[in-house]
Amino acid sequence: MLDSIVDMGVRNYEDTAVLNQVGNYIYSQFELYSDNVSKQEFKIGSLTFFNVIALVGDTTKPRIVVGAHYDVCQEQDGADDNGSGVVGLITTLKNLKDHQGEYCYEFVAYTLEEPPFYGSEYMGSHIHATDLKKRGVEVYGMISLEMLGFFSDEKKSQRYPLGILKLFYGGKGDYITLVGTFNKGKFVKKFTKEFKKSKMIKTKKFTGPKSLAGIDFSDHRSYWVLGMDAMMITDTSFYRNENYHKNTDTMDTLDFHRLAAVVNAVIYSLKKF
C-alpha cells in the first residue's frame, strides 16, 4: 500500500496530477470498505484539490473523525510524513467497516496540510472541519494520524521543545506519543486511556499548551480552532526523525513492526466507542 503511494511520484501541490492521482487511489481503497465514499472538492484559482471521505455507521449519530494528510512537502517520498498516517487510516477503516457503536466514524484523507497552506483557509482539514460545523454535525472527537513509523532505540535519539521534558520522557525515540491540550474533553481522555491499556506499543501521553512549538503541527489544529475535542498520534516528527521534510524520508527508514502496532492500538481503542 505505502509503496503504491510512493511510486506514483511527488504528491505536492505543485504537481496536482500526481497529488490527485494519489487522492483517487485512496478513494479506490476507501470504496473497498465503505459504501459511503465521497470527494470534498475545493478550488484555489483554477486548480481543484480534494479531501477523500468514507463514512461507517449511522450518519445521524455524532461523529468520530479519523484523519491523515496525503500530501508531502516539496520533492520527497514522504514515507513517514505522511504515508505512514495514510496507511494507518486505510487499515483502520478496513478493520472498523462493520463496527456498530454509538458514533458514526468519518475517515478523512486530507490534501494540502503542508506549507504553504498549513494554517490557512485552504488547508484540507480546515475545509473539512469548517464544513462539519456549518452543517451542524456533532463531532464527539477527532484523531490526527501524523507520522507513525519512525522509531529509534539509540540514546539521545529523541529531542524536545523544552530540555526539561527529557527528564520525564527519556532520551530514546522508542515510543509513540498521544498529544492533547490541557482542556481536552471526554473523547481524548477515554481514547488515551484505552490506547495505553492495549499495551501494544510503548506509549507516552503529552499534554501541553497550544502555544508549544509542534503541538499543533498537523490537522487536529483545524478542529481545535473550532472548539472540538481533538488529538494527534505521532512519532514526534522532527523532534526525532531527522528525515523530516527531506528526500531521505523513505520507506527503508520506517519500523513497520512498530507502525503496525500503533495502528492496531488505534483500532483496538476505537472499537471501545
Report the pLDDT value the prediction gives residue 166, as an integer from 0 to 100: 87
Question: What fold is seen in the domain 2-149+178-270?
Answer: Aminopeptidase (3.40.630)
For residue 204, give the C-alpha cell: 507516552
What's the whole-model pTM score?
0.96
Under the banding of pLDDT at 50, 70 and 90, the label for residue 175 is: very high
Nearest to 149 by CA among 67, 257, 51, 61: 257
Under the banding of pLDDT at 50, 70 and 90, the label for residue 213 is: low
Under the banding of pLDDT at 50, 70 and 90, the label for residue 223 is: very high
What percentage of the chain exceeds 70 in pLDDT? 100
Mean pLDDT for the stretch of residues 101-108: 96
Under the banding of pLDDT at 50, 70 and 90, the label for residue 268 is: very high
- Partnered with residue 203 across adjacent β-strands are 176
Average pLDDT, the chain: 95
Under the banding of pLDDT at 50, 70 and 90, the label for residue 161 is: confident
Under the banding of pLDDT at 50, 70 and 90, the label for residue 78 is: very high
Mean pLDDT for the stretch of residues 201-210: 88
- Per residue in 21-39, pLDDT (tens digit) is 999 999 999 999 999 999 9
Residue 226 CB contacts under 8 Å (≥ 6 apart), including other chains: 129, 130, 133
State the distance between the two ends of the chain, measured CA to CA, in whole angstroms: 27
